[in-house]
Structure 1
């Protein structure tokens, strides 16, 4: 493909880039705390009757979920899962989506660390 032709970016690619931007912004100040945290994206949340407190919701629609991980011999790292379609649906444009993703990442990371989200901003 010629250099003058922009590469096609899917909505999924753009969403993933926005998450990376949000995480990279936090890594400058919180590198140690973010070191073992995994971030994942699912298109839609799982179909559950009731969501635990580890789920960040807008109304009754899950936007993200924090899986705290498990230390020990068979350690499982903490994971923050963002649900792409509900987040995209709530955004007016790409800048709004970037802000929303950043806020959700901050909220879930603050929940993981047991601190106020304002401390991460």
Structure 2
């Protein structure tokens, strides 16, 4: 036998709102005592921003006014070979990095957080090198010199 349904507005603080089996509103997955989870997109944005700031500190005059953007995918596929990982617009002083092609199409020999971060950093370095007309290794030579 079917149970009778309650009217949508009766006994509820919000009209049309219902919680699941009378348990109340759900809390976050991590609970109140743990930090919120970070997504891959958040880590990608953070890596791009920190690498861009590092390069702006090394090359303040050349990168003054350069905007760094993150997009999910290129709006148009212009390359006959594959998807672009980044786009440099020298006239607008803009570097756009495409998250999904960098994350999904890059070949890493080890899939861990360190190697993913290094791949993202290398794409930022190569995009900035393209903007400045330099070799990526010349952007931060001290960074790769191990004593």
Per the normalisation by structure 1, the TM-score is: 0.75
**Higher normalized helix content (fraction of residues):** 1
- Which protein is bigger by CA-based radius of gyration? 2
Structure 1 residues not aligned, in runs of 5+: 53-58, 70-76
1:8-87 mapped onto 2 (5 Å cutoff)? 8-48=37-77, 50-51=78-79, 60-69=82-91, 77-87=92-102
Task: Give the aligned CA root-mean-square deviation in angstroms.
Answer: 2.1
**Cα offset, 1:15, TM superposition:** 0.8
Unaligned runs of 5+ in 2: 1-30, 141-147
TM-score by length of 2: 0.63
Structure with greater strand percent = 1
Distance in 2 (CA, whole Å) between partners of 1:118 and 1:111 is 12
- Of structures 1 and 2, the one scoring higher in RCO (CA 8 A, sep 6+) is 1
Cα deviation for residue 81 of structure 1 reads 0.7
Q: Is residue 98 of structure 1 aligned with residue 117 of structure 2?
A: yes
